[in-house]
């Protein structure tokens, strides 16, 4: 790492308080979104008003950090003005970059705000040099957030064939669906992750308790898990539910709850050309943000000094206390 530039640590914030926690914990940049459907974490109690975002920009800049505004959902016909206004608002308050998923919004921003910095969202699903170069040439994309489907070797090949920065996820949720292409929650609730910005909306979630205090979790009319008394339960999403299928009782048919953790691969990612390391989790608490930011700040700085940092505390922050390096190390990971 002494021969390459130390990467930026990019951290999530679902609220202004979480943003301040991330900045104070050592994040180089924080990504967050406006209240409403323009970002892919559109949940009650999360996200920023325009005034909150403006104050957060000042807070970050005063402490040497950047603010990246996620406008990374896909507008539906007749509603594009909402997304365009969000872009205009973000630029007007001085955010350092806007994270865009929709090709039409990338076109709008590149024409309306030609001097502003565009980052291509992971939701765009651009995983090849050809697709990334198209965005760079047409819309002057400065950074691409890569989907979580590439090995480190493949990332290196992409890096060598493109002319923009690479940002990669290193910790947090890892879904079974290709980024920007999940329709499971839309099938069940009518609300889309990619267009409405919400997966498994809380108002569709309810629980049924039996006489033994076991809980059946339902999303709308569908049972997606059964939790025995004393078991812990994560947030109820369809892809991480347990089902009776193929003559088997209650198993993870799609994906077992597990978190991405690439701490051991940080030196390899940096050598491959990754210039920004991203933590997932805008729905997480301040305590989670504080812990994970400080851990990765210490890990990145430690590797830069040639040390082997202690990263054992990160396991406690993973989903189900299980972790994986996903496709980054091997395509065969389940």
Crossing angle for the helix pair 80-92 and 103-112, to the nearest 10 degrees: 40
* pLDDT at site 184: 82
For each of the domains in the chain, give its residue range(s) and CATH number, in order of start. Answer: 8-174+258-329 (3.20.20.70), 184-251 (no CATH)
Q: Could you tell me the pTM of the whole model?
A: 0.90
* pLDDT at site 127: 92
Joined together, the tokens standing for residue 47 give: 């996200």
* pLDDT at site 13: 95
- Picking from 54, 25, 99, the residue whose alpha carbon sits closest to that of residue 276 is 99
* pLDDT at site 67: 98
Give the pLDDT of the chain (334 residues) as one tens digit per residue.
445 578 999 999 999 999 999 999 999 999 999 999 898 888 888 899 999 999 999 999 999 999 999 999 999 889 999 999 999 999 999 999 999 999 999 999 999 999 999 999 999 999 999 999 999 999 999 999 999 889 999 999 999 999 999 999 998 877 666 676 777 888 888 887 777 778 888 889 988 888 888 888 999 888 888 888 777 766 788 888 888 877 777 778 777 778 888 888 999 999 999 999 999 988 888 988 999 999 999 999 988 888 887 777 777 777 667 777 777 766 554 4
Distance of CA 54 to the CA centre of its chain: 22
Tell me the C-alpha distance between 302 and 101, whole Å.
33
Which regions of the chain does DSSP assign to beta strands (E)?
A: 8-12, 29-32, 66-71, 97-100, 118-120, 143-145, 165-173, 205-209, 215-219, 222-227, 243-245, 248-251, 259-261, 276-279, 323-324
* pLDDT at site 334: 45
């Amino acid at each position: 790492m002494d021969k390459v530039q130390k990467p930026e640590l990019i951290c999530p914030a679902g609220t202004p308080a979480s943003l301040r926690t991330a900045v104070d914990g050592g994040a180089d940049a924080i990504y967050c979104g406006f209240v409403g459907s323009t970002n892919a974490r559109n949940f009650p109690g999360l996200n920023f008003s325009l005034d909150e975002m403006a104050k957060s920009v000042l807070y970050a800049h005063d402490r040497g950090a950047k603010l990246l505004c996620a406008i990374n959902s896909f507008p539906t016909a007749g509603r594009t003005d909402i997304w365009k206004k969000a872009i205009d608002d973000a630029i007007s308050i001085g955010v350092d970059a806007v994270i865009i998923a929709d090709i039409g919004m990338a076109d709008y921003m590149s024409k309306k705000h030609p001097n502003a910095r565009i980052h291509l969202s992971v939701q765009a699903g651009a995983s090849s040099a050809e697709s990334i170069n198209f965005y760079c040439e047409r819309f002057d994309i400065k950074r691409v957030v890569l989907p979580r489907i590439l090995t480190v070797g493949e990332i290196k090949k992409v890096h060598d064939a493109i002319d923009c920065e690479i940002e990669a996820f290193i910790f947090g949720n890892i879904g079974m669906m290709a980024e920007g292409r999940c329709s499971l929650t839309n099938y069940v609730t009518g609300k889309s992750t990619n267009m409405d910005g919400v997966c498994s909306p809380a108002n569709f979630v309810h629980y049924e308790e039996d006489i033994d205090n076991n809980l059946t979790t339902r999303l709308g009319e569908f049972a997606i898990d059964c939790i025995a008394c004393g078991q812990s339960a994560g947030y109820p999403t369809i892809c991480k539910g347990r089902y009776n299928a193929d003559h088997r009782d209650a198993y993870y048919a799609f994906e077992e709850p597990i978190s991405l953790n690439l701490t051991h691969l940080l030196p390899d990612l940096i050598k491959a050309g990754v210039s920004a390391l991203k933590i997932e989790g805008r729905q997480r608490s301040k305590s989670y943000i504080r812990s994970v930011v400080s851990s990765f700040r210490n890990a990145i700085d430690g590797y830069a000094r040639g040390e082997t940092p202690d990263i054992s505390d990160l396991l406690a922050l993973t989903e189900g206390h299980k972790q994986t390096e996903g496709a980054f190390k091997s395509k065969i990971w389940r």
